[in-house]
Amino acid sequence: MTQPVVEALTARYFLQRGYLVWTDLAIDEGYNGDIDVLACNAKELVFVECKDNKVDKPTKLLEQMKRAVAHLKSKACEHNALARSLPVRVVLVLPKLDCSPARWRGINALMKAESIEVLDADEVIKDVVKRERELLNLRRGGRGRLGPYGHQPDTLLNFIKWLVDRDYLKV
């Protein structure tokens, strides 16, 4: 199954930081929602909602996120033991570029009032690319190009490596 770009790169963002990551966890509560990214380490469980474009109804999104977090902590969810034993951090990732400055501030204020962290999707993507570049340089050890790609089943990661190796990305 293909993933939206922001979800795939947000999952990679947390993987790069040592989190165990699940994506597209179904929530069957009558509104056909899902948990886009669920990341866990020894200290916290992070629930992440990802948006590829602007948010038309922030209050509706907030309610959806609250229902998803409640589901995460309920007995109906197979991950409820994690949600009950670790602090849950809630994060919204969306592109700032698709919002006017006033809209971005409004979404931030609304989410912050509910203790939800808002991350700019473009900054997440830049950080993923920078970290992949650092990893490539470490593995290369000054030996030039690494050779063929495709050794990992992650097409997106292979594509980023390919772009970085050829200096097509200046992040």
Q: 3-state SS string over the chain?
A: CCCCHHHHHHHHHHHCCCCEEEEEEEECCCCCEEEEEEEECCCCEEEEEECCCCCCCHHHHHHHHHHHHHHHHCCCCCCHHHHHHCCEEEEEEECHHHCCHHHHHHHHHHHHHCCEEEEEHHHHHHHHHHHHHHHHHHHHCCCCCCCCCCCCCCHHHHHHHHHHHCCCCCC
Predicted confidence (pLDDT) at residue 1 exceeds the cutoff of 60: no
> Average pLDDT for residues 4-19, to the nearest whole number?
91
- Between 143 and 23, the more confident residue is 23
> Average pLDDT for residues 140-163, to the nearest whole number?
63
Output the pTM of the full model: 0.83
Predicted confidence (pLDDT) at residue 131 exceeds the cutoff of 60: yes
Q: Is 24 exposed, middle or buried (0-12, 13-18, 19+ CB in 10 A)?
A: middle
Q: What is the pLDDT of residue 22?
A: 92
What's the chain's average pLDDT? 83
Q: What is the pLDDT of residue 160?
A: 74
Quick one: what percent of the chain has pLDDT higher than 90? 42
Q: What is the pLDDT of residue 5?
A: 85
> Average pLDDT for residues 92-106, to the nearest whole number?
91
Q: Find, among 119, 102, 103, the residue nearest to 56 by Cα.
A: 103
Taking the domains of the chain in order of start, what are their residue ranges?
5-123, 127-165
Q: What is the pLDDT of residue 41?
A: 95
Q: What is the pLDDT of residue 3?
A: 78
Q: Find, among 13, 21, 91, 105, the residue nearest to 51 by Cα.
A: 91
Q: What is the pLDDT of residue 147?
A: 53
Quick one: what percent of the chain has pLDDT higher than 70? 81
Residue whose token pair is 């951090």: 89
Residue 31 neighbours by CB distance under 10 Å: 10
By the 8 A CB rule, do 125 and 9 touch? yes
Give the torsion sign (CA, 84, 58, 21, 12).
negative
Domain 5-123 has CATH 3.40.1350.10: yes
Q: What confidence category does residue 34 fall into, taking pLDDT thresholds of 50, 70 and 90?
A: confident
Q: What is the pLDDT of residue 40?
A: 95
